[in-house]
A and B are shown apart, each in its own frame.
Chain A
Amino acid sequence: MVTLARTPRLVSGLQWYALLGPPLSWTVQLVLGYYTTQAACGAAASRLGVEVHTWNAVLTVAALAVAAGGWASAAALHAATGGGDVDDPLGRIRFLSTAGLAIGIIFVTLILFTGAGVLALPECRR
């Protein structure tokens, strides 16, 4: 508790990272990944020269790292707020870190699904 009170900025940073990091990392993976397939399989493919599998392997690893970090932050906050105290702002941090734990698991799974799916299929087969 004491450490939390002393480092509000860090706590607040970790809290928002845990909440927003995993979803946003998936968003980046989805948007960029979607555009790599559009670029590689559209009429402009030869002009753009995008390689779907390479790009998506990189995107997946990067997104996974960010999302896993978010989950770890949530886990740290959740452990630190483990007491019975539910008053502000500890109650709020505990509330958000509980949510963050679920967010981390869900988005790590989603990023893995996406990456594995793209890599398992031929690049531009329709």
Chain B
Amino acid sequence: MSLGRAGGRRWTRVAVLGLLLVASGCNSNQSVTNPATTPASDIATLWWAMFAGAMVIFALVLGLLVLAYVRRGRPGSGGDDRGPYRVILGGGLAAPIVVLSILFIFVIRVMPAVSAPPPGSTKLTVDVIGHQWFWEVRYPGTAAVTANEIHIPARTPVNLVARTADVIHSFWVPRLNRKIDMIPGRTNRIELDAPQTGVYPGQCSEFCGLEHADMGLEVVVQTPAAFRAWLADQARPARAPTTPQELQGRQVFLTASCADCHTIRGTPAVGRAGPDLTHVGSRQTIAALTLPNTPSSLFDWITNPQLYKPGARMPGFASLPASTRRALVAYLESLT
């Protein structure tokens, strides 16, 4: 609405610096006041309007308290209530009715922007399924399944369908839209329609157990052409291993307990408890943004996941020889 994106960012700075000694100079990628879409910026506008109004009201009340302090020595009216009544009815009854009516109308006008997209109004549907503690991402109509990284095309209304495989989670990418809970037995939807390419971080925001804190996700907004290419890649079965080490790694994957929980399409591994690893090598992070997806951190993760994400469902494989684990890493990283 009226406040542009840049304006929003600038105002965040002013508010943060002005109101508190501790300024957050860093990353505001997950900030509510840094909207990248129409619904998110409608919400930010609503926020700034409420913030301004709230500050005026707060100042008024502080003014009354200061007045009381300044006049503390003077005798009062002696208990005559007529003066106070006027202020109390004006400030406590009449003014709130006016202010709240304006706010209520504002709220009703913003609500359609953040609602689920009407059927048929979107060009692409993405299924996101919350798990303890990662996000399963599916593209209906294709074989593509990935985790924690949601790719969508820019300037395209996307119907995001939010479901859960276990407990309640909440899908939240603040710069793109409001959050939406993932509740057993229910199918919730929101719209993602990002005008610009980029990476938009998000995080589970309903307490979902031990690793609620490490359940991050990223929405990667690509140009429509890049997105189509990416989707076609993801829909393909896994790449066959090419080096002996990768071959050994695949063997380990299928014979150690990995395949009980993970799927690699095109192999006998069809486990559903953990993320689909068919194209794990193409992802930027592992363990729901807990670690960067590099061979060394993948090696560490396989060795002892509990060190990085205590409580994670994945067991450690320190019992496997280091060379075996290295082979496994080589195989997984080859799955681009």
A contacts B directly (C-beta below 8 A):
yes
Chain A residues in the interface with B (C-beta under 8 A): 102, 105-106, 109, 113, 117, 120-122, 125-126
A14 to B97, CA, bound (A): 26
A125 touches B104 (CB 8 A): no
Task: For the complex formed, measure the closest distance between the CB of B125 and the CB atoms of chain A, giving whole angstroms.
Answer: 16
B188 touches A126 (CB 8 A): yes
Task: For the complex formed, measure the closest distance between the CB of B145 and the CB atoms of chain A, giving whole angstroms.
Answer: 26
A117 to B116, CA, bound (A): 18
Partner of B108 from A109, A117, A125, A126 at Cβ < 8 Å:
A117
> Across the interface, which residues of B come within 8 angstroms of A102, CB to CB?
93
A125 to B113, CA, bound (A): 11
> Across the interface, which residues of B come within 8 angstroms of A109, CB to CB?
97
Question: Is B111 among interface residues, defined by CB-CB distance under 8 A?
Answer: yes
Residue of A at shortest CB range from B97? Answer: A109
Residue of A at shortest CB range from B92? Answer: A102
Partner of B93 from A105, A117, A122 at Cβ < 8 Å:
A105
Task: For the complex formed, measure the closest distance between the CB of A114 and the CB atoms of chain B, giving whole angstroms.
Answer: 10
Task: For the complex formed, measure the closest distance between the CB of B135 and the CB atoms of chain A, giving whole angstroms.
Answer: 21
A113 touches B111 (CB 8 A): no
A126 to B104, CA, bound (A): 18
A120 touches B108 (CB 8 A): yes
Task: For the complex formed, measure the closest distance between the CB of A111 and the CB atoms of chain B, giving whole angstroms.
Answer: 13
Question: Is B115 among interface residues, defined by CB-CB distance under 8 A?
Answer: yes
A121 to B104, CA, bound (A): 13
What is the interface of chain A mostly: helix, strand, loop, or mixed? helix
Q: A125-B112, A126-B115 are in contact. Are A117 and B188 (CB under 8 A)?
A: no
Q: A102-B93, A125-B115 are known; give 9 further A-B pairs, CB within 8 A.
A: A109-B97, A113-B100, A113-B101, A117-B104, A121-B111, A122-B112, A125-B112, A126-B115, A126-B188
> Across the interface, which residues of A come within 8 angstroms of B189, CB to CB?
126
Task: For the complex formed, measure the closest distance between the CB of B317 and the CB atoms of chain A, giving whole angstroms.
Answer: 43
Q: A105-B93, A126-B188, A126-B189 are in contact. Are A113 and B104 (CB under 8 A)?
A: yes
Residue of B at shortest CB range from A102? Answer: B93
What is the interface of chain B mostly: helix, strand, loop, or mixed? helix
> Across the interface, which residues of A come within 8 angstroms of B188, CB to CB?
126
A77 to B115, CA, bound (A): 47
A122 to B117, CA, bound (A): 13
Residue of B at shortest CB range from A126? Answer: B116
> Across the interface, which residues of B come within 8 angstroms of A125, CB to CB?
112, 115-116, 118
Task: For the complex formed, measure the closest distance between the CB of B195 and the CB atoms of chain A, giving whole angstroms.
Answer: 24
Q: A126-B115, A126-B116, A126-B189 are in contact. Are A121 and B93 (CB under 8 A)?
A: no
19 A–B contacts from the bound complex (CB under 8 Å): A102-B93, A105-B93, A105-B97, A106-B93, A109-B97, A113-B100, A113-B101, A113-B104, A117-B104, A117-B108, A121-B108, A121-B111, A122-B112, A125-B116, A125-B118, A126-B115, A126-B116, A126-B188, A126-B189
> Across the interface, which residues of A come within 8 angstroms of B111, CB to CB?
121
A24 to B162, CA, bound (A): 38
A92 to B249, CA, bound (A): 86
Q: Which 6 A-B pairs have the closest CB atoms?
A: A126-B116, A125-B115, A120-B108, A109-B97, A113-B104, A117-B108
> Across the interface, which residues of A come within 8 angstroms of B104, CB to CB?
113, 117
A125 to B115, CA, bound (A): 7
A102 to B97, CA, bound (A): 12
Task: For the complex formed, measure the closest distance between the CB of B93 and the CB atoms of chain A, giving whole angstroms.
Answer: 7
> Across the interface, which residues of A come within 8 angstroms of B100, CB to CB?
113
A9 to B104, CA, bound (A): 41
> Across the interface, which residues of B come within 8 angstroms of A106, CB to CB?
93
Task: For the complex formed, measure the closest distance between the CB of B79 and the CB atoms of chain A, giving whole angstroms.
Answer: 13
> Across the interface, which residues of A come within 8 angstroms of B108, CB to CB?
117, 120-121
